[in-house]
Structure 1
Amino acid sequence: MSCRSNLSSWQALEQSAANLKQQKLKSLFAQDDQRFDKFSCQIPGLLFDYSKQLIDEDAFSHLISLVEEVNLDAWRKKMFCGEKINFTEDRAVLHTALRNRSGSSVMVDGEDVMPAVQTELDKIKHFTEKVRSGEWTGYTSKAVKDIVAIGVGGSNLGPQMATEALKAHTDDKLNVHYVSNVDGVQLADVLNKVDPETSLFVISSKTFTTSETMTNANSAVKWFLNSAKSEAAIEKHFVAVSTNLQKTRAFGIADENVFTMWDWVGGRFSLWSAIGLPISLYLGFEVFSDILAGAYEIDEHFKNAPTSQNIPIIMALLSVWNTSFLGYKAQAILPYDQALHMLPAYLQQGEMESNGKSVAFDGRTVEYTTVPLIWGMTGINGQHAFYQYLHQGNNIVPADFIASVKPQKVVDKHHDILLSNFFAQTEAMMAGVDEQQVRKDLAEKGIAQEKVEQLIAHKIHQGNRPTTSMILDTVDAKAVGRLIALYEHKIFCQGILLEICSFDQWGVELGKGLASAIEAELTQDNVHHEHDSSTNGLIAYYKQRR
């Protein structure tokens, strides 16, 4: 299999990158008053503007050629049809089947998975209605007031991000709390807020063996039994999302209260499955269904839109362009909407766990940088934290700016003020401020010439900082579904473009295995493993002082 860097489109892009590194975004806008129209797309509910990326029509044409040369269309069809494109684990990649609204079959190993998907959705709906109506009661016949979701990674980040994004739409029937960190502080804080008689715990672990999750779950059930006194009460207060019925039974959870998932659903792509149960319980099944519907709209766009107008493909191309060709090593996610404050953390896992790799399909070490470091936070807070670095640091960090036309909550002119910052920051990062403008501004303020000369270098902004702007109509359930699905398909396209497998996570597994062995050293007597001197010293220091 040939390396991507041997493709003619890749080599053409290397030349385009060399040329554009000498260009200024400000000049590209000055030369073409149609630039926004050429490099932006609109779909229902979303404007996607990438005109402030450092590209021109020539580079964009080569990017489109790269899509064709790597045969992305064939890979896309394989994914949607249930072929096992996660070849290192021999699994299909079918989170899209979980939100399939077409009624069409999706086959895996000769079996249509859609009936099972629909059965599980019906089960989620029925259970949600029982809990939210008060029909489901605890061991003292009281209705549920608090949902405590225990999981980690993909079993936590997706549901928590979505419920945070949409909590403005809650009817306040239930509260939801998330526990992911095995640090006991988080669990203790949640348990201190809830009543065992009115709490429902959702334990999410595909294998029901995940160390962090099961440690928290076992501590939660111990806390619960201090009040309930009877293990028979567990099934009234604990449900699970898992495929391991033997383990869930041993825990005390009734089979009918276990929601399933499948090995063709990766953890970081799983909020569309029963992993999304906390979303449904907190916001109602109709809201959860709308999230699925919004994602399905993007699935259809991704399958059917021409490459030059296909937003997930363009997102992936821009990432590869910025990282592998222009040499930018990081990307910021900057939502100008408080509801989306967990999106950067969610996308960190989605992109970096998927594509943070350096081995090609055939096992070769790739010759180019793959994905960037993903980081960020809400825009206004970021402006007063790290935007100085974005504007004048000597490392250029492309950024995705995300906002909405209509706020979830209208408070005077707050949203106009928020959006004025959104528009101003992308303009400033693109245009910068040159020496001539600095001199003019300082002169108009009456600054002495000597002082002007001292300040010029400090006040110049080079600009040429690439940004993409995404404007949603509003942050509602469908918008959240659309936004997540856009980034999911971007991640898939990145993997194909870069020739790396996006759907395993062997780096994560390595750390888990080592931690398990060390855990035995910390919790059992006379257990010792071979380590380097640093690890030995650290373990000894801890054990002597705990």
Structure 2
Amino acid sequence: MPSNPAADRLKSLFSAQDIVLDSAYQGIDAAGWKSLFSQAKASKLEQFIADLFAGKPVNNSENRPALHSALRNLDKTPVLVNGKDIMPEVAQVWHRMEALCNSWVGVTDVIHIGIGGSDFGPRLAIEALAHVPGIESRGMRMHFLANIDTADLNRILQRALPNSTRVIIVSKSFTTLETTMNAKAVVKWLKDHGRTDSQISHALYAVTANVPAAEAFGVNKDNIYPFWDWVGGRYSVWSAVGLPIALQYGFENFKQFLAGAQAMDQHFKSAPLEENLPVIMALSLLYQQEKYNIKSYAVIPYADALDWFPKWLQQLDMESNGKSVDRDGKPVKFSCPVVFGSSGSNAQHSYFQLLHQGTEVIPIDFIAIREPMSHLPEAKAHHRILLSNCLAQAQALANGKKTDNPNNTYPGKRPSNLLILPKLNAYYLGALLALYENRTAALGALWNINSFDQPGVELGKVLAKPIEAALKNGGTVLADAGIDEVTAARINLLNS
């Protein structure tokens, strides 16, 4: 039977909440998709999705649920953890955040102190929404302090006004080294500029699961917003961790951010596998792993407002699924590829040479936005060029070009997705982030990996303590410190 291009084209188009996914350049035919969906069903993906939203302990290593979806459950449909509905507590935090937004006056600077999941999500949202045409903003300077390097601290303190600065300290445990040290430095800066203990306590806010530690640090109890152990840090922007979003752009925009994510959750939860955007994206990446044994993939948003999106996604994907063993402790065949990317068309002038003619096949997610991100007179013309570059790169990667000159030959067959957002605003930003969160969870289920723990980050933290002590003590390494000869020599080199 002859192929029907129009019918084949329709089979490559999917949508949810007005976000369109075009998978035409994935190179997966009808038989391939049928096999992939059978594989998903054999992996009990549907049951995993149901368990995820039902609050089952899908984080099996820590015996916890992963209920970030509850943080954007604006309908307040009951969600049970150990038989208790957690939604009243979540709703109470929303009310407190809204009240704070309404009373937030006279603030020129906000210093948000956190690292990893306490930093990437709110930083991405603040940067992305700043470019939304016509969005209302309080005009505060929003500073994100994550790195322990004092260069970052110094840059912020040189700009902030101590008498009108507020500080938000974000740490689930309130013991994160980088966060607590930076917080102490900012408090010292406030004291050095004549702020009293009472004034400092009024200026400090905390988002944490360890309320006693925040109080002991000097944060007024009324300024502490709770965090729960069923929320992973990299999934936490939907909680009070996202407070900067509400403070900068208003609580209504924060609610729209949650609403977009909730809508994508409902799609992930209820859509058949064959129409489910997060599942289809997960399966297409799995297909490229099985076909090409890919080691990396790129995400290229053709929107400068989303330049932070690949950095956020790096943590989401690689901290969630960068594992070598599955839920049963057995070696895995596949896990998370390396994630990289940056905004197009800048990326074309950086590493696209490798994508087109390198020896490795690297799948790409292209992200495009229908509407331009400014009201400038040049906006439409510039946006046409931006979109034409996005489409052209995808076509060139897929089809390639044969010439008699090997240097000018493009092999083609480089797979890609195209995601199209109607516009970029708080709602569609929330939907986009939730789409990738759910895709990451689906991939974990397909690989039989626990996407909700991250034990691999702990060893380096443990080793850093005796190394820091040795650096402090002039290079003296204690015999039982667990420091090897190479590291001991490097300590001496740094101290010389």
Find the counterpart in structure 2 of residue 415 from structure 1: 383
**Matched residue type, 2:130:** K
Find the counterpart in structure 2 of residue 373 from structure 1: 338
Any idea what the Cα deviations from partners look like across 1:20-69, whole Å, max 9, x if unmatched? xxxxxxxxx99834332111112233111011002111111011001111
Change in CA separation of 1:527 and 1:170 when aligned onto 2, cut-off 3 Å: farther
Contact 1:354 1:491 in 2 (8 A): yes
2:322 paired with 1:356: yes
Aligned-partner Cα distance in 1 for 2:200–2:222 = 13
Aligned-partner Cα distance in 2 for 1:247–1:269 = 22
2:371 paired with 1:403: no
**Matched residue type, 1:81:** A
Contact 2:16 2:264 in 1 (8 A): no
Tell me the secondary structure at the aligned position of residue 406 of structure 1: coil
Change in CA separation of 1:479 and 1:464 when aligned onto 2, cut-off 3 Å: same
Q: How many residues align?
A: 486
Find the counterpart in structure 1 of residue 40 from structure 2: 67
Tell me the secondary structure at the aligned position of residue 80 of structure 1: helix
Contact 2:300 2:367 in 1 (8 A): yes
Aligned-partner Cα distance in 2 for 1:103–1:84 = 21
Aligned-partner Cα distance in 2 for 1:174–1:197 = 14
- Of 452, 457, 466 in structure 1, the residue corresponding to residue 415 of structure 2 is 466
For residues 52-451 of structure 1, the aligned pairs below 5 Å read 52-131=25-104, 134=105, 143-168=106-131, 169-366=135-332, 368-411=333-376, 412=378, 413-435=381-403
Any idea what the Cα deviations from partners look like across 1:299-339, whole Å, max 9, x if unmatched? 11111111111000011111211124431111001000011
1:101: Cα distance to partner?
A: 2.4
Find the counterpart in structure 2 of residue 535 from structure 1: 487
Aligned-partner Cα distance in 1 for 2:231–2:473 = 35
Aligned-partner Cα distance in 1 for 2:16–2:216 = 49
Contact 2:13 2:23 in 1 (8 A): yes
1:511: Cα distance to partner?
A: 1.6
Aligned-partner Cα distance in 2 for 1:396–1:533 = 39
Contact 2:209 2:229 in 1 (8 A): no
**Matched residue type, 1:422:** C
Aligned-partner Cα distance in 2 for 1:150–1:160 = 11
Aligned-partner Cα distance in 2 for 1:527–1:329 = 38
Find the counterpart in structure 2 of residue 497 from structure 1: 446
Aligned-partner Cα distance in 2 for 1:82–1:343 = 28
Contact 2:163 2:195 in 1 (8 A): no
Aligned-partner Cα distance in 1 for 2:73–2:291 = 36
Contact 2:292 2:361 in 1 (8 A): no
Contact 1:320 1:370 in 2 (8 A): no
Change in CA separation of 1:232 and 1:93 when aligned onto 2, cut-off 3 Å: same
Aligned-partner Cα distance in 2 for 1:103–1:281 = 23
1:527: Cα distance to partner?
A: 6.1
1:130: Cα distance to partner?
A: 1.0
Tell me the secondary structure at the aligned position of residue 417 of structure 2: strand
Tell me the secondary structure at the aligned position of residue 228 of structure 1: coil
Aligned-partner Cα distance in 1 for 2:259–2:469 = 46
Find the counterpart in structure 2 of residue 450 from structure 1: none
Contact 2:301 2:367 in 1 (8 A): yes
Change in CA separation of 1:145 and 1:229 when aligned onto 2, cut-off 3 Å: closer
Using the size of structure 2 for normalisation, the TM-score is 0.95
More displaced stretch, 404-413 vs 186-195: 404-413
**Matched residue type, 2:409:** I
1:197: Cα distance to partner?
A: 0.3
- Of 449, 452, 470 in structure 2, the residue corresponding to residue 521 of structure 1 is 470
1:262: Cα distance to partner?
A: 0.2
Find the counterpart in structure 2 of residue 21 from structure 1: none
Aligned-partner Cα distance in 1 for 2:385–2:472 = 54
Contact 1:95 1:270 in 2 (8 A): yes
Tell me the secondary structure at the aligned position of residue 193 of structure 2: helix
Larger Rg: 1
Contact 1:106 1:114 in 2 (8 A): yes
Aligned-partner Cα distance in 2 for 1:102–1:360 = 35
Change in CA separation of 1:52 and 1:283 when aligned onto 2, cut-off 3 Å: same
Contact 1:334 1:400 in 2 (8 A): yes
Find the counterpart in structure 2 of residue 18 from structure 1: none
**Matched residue type, 2:364:** A
**Matched residue type, 1:500:** I
Find the counterpart in structure 1 of residue 458 from structure 2: 509
1:493: Cα distance to partner?
A: 0.5
Tell me the secondary structure at the aligned position of residue 110 of structure 2: strand
Aligned-partner Cα distance in 2 for 1:519–1:285 = 42
Change in CA separation of 1:541 and 1:401 when aligned onto 2, cut-off 3 Å: same
More displaced stretch, 526-535 vs 231-240: 526-535
Tell me the secondary structure at the aligned position of residue 293 of structure 2: coil
Unaligned residue ranges in structure 2 (runs of 5+)? none
Tell me the secondary structure at the aligned position of residue 36 of structure 2: helix
1:246: Cα distance to partner?
A: 2.0
Any idea what the Cα deviations from partners look like across 1:81-116, whole Å, max 9, x if unmatched? 111110111111000000012331100011000000
1:170: Cα distance to partner?
A: 4.0
2:19 paired with 1:38: no
1:530: Cα distance to partner?
A: 3.1
Contact 1:48 1:311 in 2 (8 A): yes
1:164: Cα distance to partner?
A: 0.5
1:267: Cα distance to partner?
A: 0.3
